[in-house]
Amino acid sequence: MRSVRALVTLAATAVSVLAMASVAHGAGYTFPRQFAVPSGNEQGLAYADGRWYVAFDLDGKGSARIVAYDAAGHEVRRSGPLPLGHAAELSYRQADGNLYVADGTPGRPCRVSVVDMRLTPPRIVRRYDFSALGPGGMVALDNTRDRLVVTAGPAGGPFTVAFVRIDGRIDHRFTSRVPGVRQGLEVVGGQIVLYTSAPDLSSNALTVMSDTGKVARTIRVPVAREGEGLAVNARTRQLYVGFGYPNAVHRMSPALP
């Protein structure tokens, strides 16, 4: 979740980052690159039916675009500028085929917009206001139970994890203190997976937890770039992680058990 100030710092290190290998190794996992993403302020990431959806914050003032790519990184569809805020995370809902987009602007209330990418042009078809949960939102779809999982709270934590019905009612919530800057969120087989970056951008991590907040495991993602979005192939449990400067989507191998 990149701020304008962070852009200047990241740009200054882009040359050295470009020399990094395209495959990183964590404990028992590798993270080979799936495809490079064109330049821009890459943010949220989602996967559905052989397409990867990447959100780009266009101006830092509330406008964002969603672009769909195939497995080789070829663009297959894009939205125009949409009032999605920071578009910090995306998630796909199987029941309606839409993307759910968290604003995630640091310091601003958590809001989620629903985007139908099949329309011409793609457009927002619904909005949720989760400002009562706090700022800096993330969203994931629990497609097994057909509900939203929303996180919000100050950048330094602690933050709230809420389970939300499709009609917007919050069923229950818990407080988490997982360290790091929140960059992505997904639900995999009933477990929550949170993607975070170290504050100094020296590495990233995937934290797997239960729906009560109990941490089951932490998977280190040893890539010294800012994380930008998390996606899952629900059928195979394959996870994909986004990175910025240079922009890319990597896959975790093997898939999450």
- 223's CB contacts (< 8 A; 6+ apart) are 20, 24, 31, 203, 204, 243, 250
List, for residues 75-124, the tens digit of each pLDDT value: 999 999 999 999 999 999 999 999 999 998 878 899 999 999 999 999 99
Gyration radius from the chain CA atoms: 16
3-state secondary structure 94-121: CCCCEEEEECCCCCCECEEEEEECCCCC
144/20 Cα distance (integer angstroms): 38
Amino acid at 64: A
- How much is the pLDDT for 107? 80
Whole-angstrom distance, CA of residue 47 vs CA of residue 24: 21
pLDDT in tens, 133-147: 999 899 999 999 999
Residue type, 182: R
Domain ranges of the chain: 4-251
Give the model's pLDDT for residue 27.
Answer: 73
The confidence score (pLDDT) of residue 5 equals 39
Which pLDDT score, from 0 to 100, does residue 23 have? Answer: 66
pTM: 0.90
E strand intervals along 37-167: 41-48, 51-57, 64-69, 75-78, 89-93, 98-102, 111-116, 123-129, 138-142, 147-152, 159-164
Residues lower than pLDDT 70 in the chain: 1-26
Say which CATH superfamily domain 4-251 falls into. TolB, C-terminal domain (2.120.10.30)
Q: How far is CA 22 from CA 19, 116, 200, 222, in A?
A: 9, 33, 21, 12
